[in-house]
Amino acid sequence: MPDTAPPIAALRALIASGEVDPATVMIEAQKNADKHPGNGNTYLHRDSALAIREALALPAKFPEADDRPPLYGIPVSVKDCFDIIGTVATCGSKFYEAHNPPALTNAWIVDRLLAAGAVITGKTHLHPLAYGITGENPEYGDCLQPRDPSLLTGGSSSGAVASVQEGSAMFAIGTDTGGSVRVPAALCGLAGYRASLGLFPETICWQGGAHLAESFDTLGLLFHDLRDAPLLGEAVFAIARVPTPGNPRIGIPTADFLYDCDPDVLAAFTAWQHRLTEHGATIETFETTTWQDCKEIFTTIQASEASRYHRGHFSEFEPSIAERLTWGETITPAQLAALHQRLEAFRATIDELFTRFDFLLLPCAPVSRLVAGDDQSGARARILRYTCPISMAGLPTVTLAGELLATSHGEHFGTGMQLCAPRLKDAELLAFAAAL
C-alpha cells in the first residue's frame, strides 16, 4: 500500500491545516474543467462563479474550525438526474431540459453533500435518461475521456467519471441500474462504489432524483482511490466504519462465463486474484448456470418500468431508446409478475452463494475500451451479461481500478473488476476494498 495519503483524505488534511482554503481548491477545480471546454462534454450545467462563491462562503457556514464536517471544501459533481435549486434536471434529454422547471428544492443526496461540507462543481453529462452503458448522447454530444478523447467514458454516469478523471471534482455522484457507475469507473481507471439496493428507503434517497427502473436503481460514487472509500461511505451515506474483514472467501465465475473477455481483461482478472490472495483471501470458482437468463429478466423489467416514467414522450428520444420504451409498454402485468418471481428466485440463489463466499469477483465488462465514433450497438448486450446479475441481486459493489495498459491501440485503463458483497454488507465491502 502506498505511504502517501489517499487524495480526498490528503486534501482534507491540507484544508484543515490552513495550507489551502476551499475557494483555492474550487478555483483549481474549475481550471481543470476549463481545460476541456465542451469537447469532452463532462458537464451539462456548470456555473464556475457560483461554485467559487459557495466555496468562499464555507468558513462562515461552518465557523468552528475544529468541528467542520468531513467533506469540508471537497469538490463534488452531481449527475444531471438530480435536482439542485435553480437548475433544470435534464436527465440527458433536450426534451426534459425544455419541459422540466427549475428545481425549487435540492435532491436528498445534494442536501447530504452540502451538509457534509462538499462544494458542488456542476451537473454532469449522462447517457439519455440514464438508459445506456456507453456514454453516447446524440443531443449533447458523446462523453469522452479527458485523458484520451478518442475513447468514450462509458455510461450512464459518463460526465461523473469524466469530472473525476479531469480533476474538476474529487468525487462524483452517479447512479447505477445496470452498471452505470461500475462500467465508467472500469473504463476510465477509477474506483467506483455502487450502494446496496435498499441501503436507504427509496422514498428518502430518490427524493429529487429521476428513476430509470426502480427495481434496480441505486446510488453510487466515483473517485480515485479505494482507500477513500470508507470516508466517503460514512460522509455521504452514513455507513459506519468497521474493521477490515480478514481472510475472506472469494468466489469467481468458472472460465466458461468469461469466454468473450478481451485478453487484457482476463490478464487483469488473474492479476487481481493474485493480489487478493496476497491479502489473505481464499479463491474458489462457482457455476453461473443460474445467470443465463439474467439479461432477459433484467432488460424486460427495466424496459417496463422505464416506459412508465416516460410514457407519452417516447418519440422525443433517440431511436434505440424509444424502441426499448415502446417494447416495455407492451409487457403485460402477468408477464411482469412472472418475471419478478424469476427475479426473486435468482436472488435466492445469490443468497445461497454467499453461504460459501464473503465476496464475489468478476470483470466489470468483457471489453477494455469503447472507441468514440465506432458502432457500439453490440457493446450493451456484452457488458450487461457481466453487470446485470449483480444489479438483479442488489449487491453492493466496488470497482477495483485497472492499471494503465500499453497496447497496440495506445494506453488505456479499461480493466476494472467488480468486487461484490452480500446485500447490505456495504461497510464490510468498503473496509476490505480500502485495505487493497
Q: Would you call 180 a catalytic residue per the annotation?
A: yes
Distance CA 321, CA 318 (A): 6
CA distance 173 to 2: 26
Domain contains 265: no
What angle, 0 to 180 degrees and rounded to 10, lies between the N-to-C axes of helices 7-17 and 22-34?
140
74 is in which domain, residue-wise? 7-246+364-384+394-434
Q: How far apart are CA 29 and CA 32, in angstroms?
A: 5
Report yes or no: 170 and 228 within 8 Å, Cβ to Cβ.
Answer: no
Residue 28 vs residues 11, 21, 75, 319: alpha-carbon distances, Å: 13, 11, 10, 40
Has residue 35 been placed in a domain?
Answer: yes
Q: Is 72 contained in some domain?
A: yes
Q: Is 307 a catalytic residue?
A: no
Q: Does 97 reside within a domain? A: yes
- Whether 266 maps to a domain, the answer reads no
Q: Before 156, cis peptide (omega within 30)? A: yes
269 is a domain residue: no
Does 166 fall in a domain?
yes
Number of domains composing the chain: 1
Q: From the candidates 93, 163, 180, 215, which is the catalytic residue?
A: 180
Whether 171 maps to a domain, the answer reads yes
Q: Smallest Cα–Cα separation from 122: which of 150, 148, 159? A: 159
CA atoms within 13 A on the CB side of 274: 6
CATH at residue 63? 3.90.1300.10
> Which is catalytic among the residues 77, 93, 123, 156?
156
Question: Does the annotation count 156 as an active-site position?
Answer: yes
| Beta carbons within 10 angstroms of residue 236's beta carbon | 22
All three cell numbers of 74, joined, read 471537497
Catalytic residue among 79, 123, 295, 425: 79
Which residue in the block uniquely carries the three cell numbers 474483514? 245
Partnered with residue 115 across adjacent β-strands are none
Place of cell 447530504: 112
Tens of pLDDT along the chain (436 residues) come to 455 789 999 999 999 999 999 999 999 999 999 987 656 799 999 999 999 999 999 999 999 999 999 999 999 999 999 999 999 999 999 999 999 999 999 999 999 999 999 999 999 999 999 999 999 999 999 999 999 999 999 999 999 999 999 999 999 999 999 999 999 999 999 999 999 999 988 778 999 999 999 999 999 999 999 999 999 999 999 999 999 999 999 999 999 999 999 999 999 999 999 999 999 999 999 999 999 999 999 999 999 999 999 999 999 999 999 999 999 999 999 999 999 999 999 999 999 999 999 999 999 999 999 999 999 988 899 999 999 999 999 999 999 997 655 454 555 567 899 999 999 999 999 999 999 9
Query: What is the DSSP code string of 370-421?
Result: -BTTS--TTHHHHHHHHHHHHHHHT--EEEEPPPPEEETTEEE----EEEE-
pTM: 0.96
162 in Cβ contact with 87 (< 8 Å): no
